[in-house]
Amino acid sequence: MAGDAPVDDRIRARPLDDSTSTLRFGLFLCDCSDTDALRKTLDRIPDEAGDCIEEIVVMLDRPSRAPLSAAQIRLAERQPKLRFHRPPRDSGYGAARKEAFEYALRRGFDQVVVMRGDGAHPPEEIPRLIGLAVADPARMVLATRRGGGRGGQGGRFLRRMSTIAQNRILGLRLRDYHTSFRLYPGEALRRIPFQLDSDGRLVDAEVILQMRALGVTIHEAPLIDGVAGDGSGCDDLVHRIRACTTAIGYRLHQFHVTRNGRYLVDHDVHYTLKSSNTGSHVQIVDAIEPGSRVLDLGCSYGLMARPLLAKSVRMTGVDTAPGEHLAKELEHYHQRDLELPLELPYGRIFEYVVCADVIEHLKNRNQLLRSVRRYLKSDGRLIISTPNVALWFYRLSLLVGRFEYGPRGVLDETHVHLYTGSTFRREVEKAGFQILSQRVTALPFEVVFESTGRSRLIRSLAFAYHALARLWPSMFAYQYILEARIVTLDEEATLEAGDRSLAGD
């Protein structure tokens, strides 16, 4: 997670060589209305950095239909890579940076360097930032002060106290949340909703919170001389208080006390096996008898194959993905679109069919469940799970007018149908199954609190909550797990006159 490792002043940048050309760099200069200051900034960019940068974009702060000024034209003639970007309306500090992000994503830059163009930031350090990007293209880099600054004692104290507060709130170890000299990985920018951020100076702190939510590593490199501030003008008390308040708001969102769309980032979620005994993965594994054959529909990477192999279970997986990075414990894998009729090269050979957190993603749910009957032994079991939309948290959310979809959880934005306990049971029964048992899960505390699952406190909390969920499932169950058997067989159960294959002696 971003910032969990201590900031390292000795971060080593890769030298700029031929390997640098594999990354596309864009340099964005903001807050530079003075053309003469801009010219001096451009002149200070080292040649080695200029060779690596594909475009230098000056973010103008005012819209204008007039042509470029004579001075701007002369700059563009001297620097062929130079571009001037006009905003749709008068642009503030944060709005200019969001415009820069949009432009960078549209142009497909791999790395985005943002700095002031008025000389407040040292262009001589751009090669160092590029070298850091080459060494690790996935991290975000903050260019911070080398010294404590020559501002007044009160200003230095204010910066220090607000930084300590933000670090304590967020669990990070940064020295400066407000520096505006930065390098962003383009892929990370693509996955954060930066357009929801402030149009003012708070945007710098908000982007750090979004990167933390995304899990991006954040490094600080001391590249700015010890001056009074970095030119961002963010040393006032009100701004620092607002930044701390924003950090508290992020934590409340993280703990699901509030929901803020600004922090609903695109994780490109890769599902992982949850080790909690109160979660669905462990309970499903426990329900399967040793030595069985299992068909796992919507198996992802085959997460449950490893713990089941320890029980001598042979698992066949089915999912829509092409089958890369699959667990080696899977016996077979088939790529299928689960919205279409399921066709597999098997008969009734499986003791279990598992459908874990799948049907809420499908439009043709009943079709898939009916297809299961063709592969399940007549005395076999369907084990199926889905989230509970009637969970107390979502009831309270609706009470206050909030129903926020996100990248995962009950309100996963890829869900097309949500279930209560009764509608879930009805869906399974409608497909020709008889429900034999129902299990419930606790809230995923190890995910909510970003725990490894080894914390005694988190385990105790999960067990206590699980007991409550068993007592009142409709209110407290996070997920339902149903075990069912076939009620209605398919056409092979129907005999024509004269067919004695099932006749007695």
| Mean local confidence (pLDDT), 465-474 | 96
The residues that bridge with 406 in the sheet, in sequence order, are 412
**Domain check: are 146 and 23 in the same one?**
yes
Write the DSSP string, 151-214.
S-HHHHHHHHHHHHHHHHHHT---S-S----EEEEHHHHHTS-GGGS-SSTTHHHHHHHHHHHH
> Could you tell me if residue 275 is inside a domain?
no
**pLDDT value of position 489:** 73
**Domain check: are 314 and 165 in the same one?**
no
| Mean local confidence (pLDDT), 470-497 | 83
pLDDT band at residue 219, thresholds of 50, 70 and 90?
very high
> Could you tell me if residue 470 is inside a domain?
yes
Domain count for the chain = 2
Query: Which residue, chain included where needed, has tokens 């490094």?
Result: 219
Q: Which domain holds residue 293?
A: 280-488
**Domain check: are 334 and 360 in the same one?**
yes
Q: Is the pLDDT of residue 271 over 70?
A: no
Between residues 66 and 180, the one the model is more confident about:
180
**Domain check: are 377 and 456 in the same one?**
yes
> Could you tell me if residue 121 is inside a domain?
yes
Q: Is the pLDDT of residue 2 over 90?
A: no
| Mean local confidence (pLDDT), 215-226 | 88
pLDDT digits (tens, 9 = 90+) for 380-416: 999 999 999 999 989 998 998 888 887 778 888 889 9
> Could you tell me if residue 496 is inside a domain?
no
pLDDT band at residue 352, thresholds of 50, 70 and 90?
very high
pLDDT digits (tens, 9 = 90+) for 232-248: 445 578 888 999 999 99
**Domain check: are 337 and 298 in the same one?**
yes
**pLDDT value of position 9:** 42
Given 219, 236, 263, the domain boundary residue is: 263
**Domain check: are 299 and 221 in the same one?**
no
> Could you tell me if residue 495 is inside a domain?
no
**Domain check: are 287 and 181 in the same one?**
no
> Which residues neighbour 51 within 8 Å (Cβ) at sequence distance 6 or greater?
16
**pLDDT value of position 492:** 58
**Domain check: are 63 and 99 in the same one?**
yes
> Residue 302 corresponds to which tokens in the numbers above?
């085959």
CB 265 within 8 A of CB 259: no
pLDDT band at residue 180, thresholds of 50, 70 and 90?
very high
Q: Is the pLDDT of residue 15 over 70?
A: no
**Domain check: are 304 and 422 in the same one?**
yes
Percent above pLDDT 70 for the chain: 84
| 155: CATH | 3.90.550.10
Given 235, 263, 291, the domain boundary residue is: 263
Computed on alpha carbons and rounded to an integer, the radius of gyration of the chain in Å comes to 29
> Could you tell me if residue 483 is inside a domain?
yes
> Which residues neighbour 75 within 8 Å (Cβ) at sequence distance 6 or greater?
35, 38, 39, 42, 82
- Pick from 134, 95, 92, 88: which is nearest to 113 by CA? 134
Given 263, 294, 321, the domain boundary residue is: 263
**pLDDT value of position 20:** 53
> Could you tell me if residue 272 is inside a domain?
no
| 354: CATH | 3.40.50.150
List Cα–Cα distances, 432 to 377, 382, 435, 472, in angstroms. Answer: 14, 11, 10, 27
**Domain check: are 222 and 344 in the same one?**
no
| Mean local confidence (pLDDT), 105-110 | 95
**Domain check: are 247 and 315 in the same one?**
no
**pLDDT value of position 12:** 54
CB 293 within 8 A of CB 389: no
Q: Is the pLDDT of residue 283 over 90?
A: yes
**Domain check: are 175 and 310 in the same one?**
no
**pLDDT value of position 228:** 42
Q: Is the pLDDT of residue 254 over 50?
A: yes
**pLDDT value of position 60:** 87
Q: Across the chain, what does the average pLDDT equal? A: 85
pLDDT band at residue 253, thresholds of 50, 70 and 90?
confident
**pLDDT value of position 449:** 65
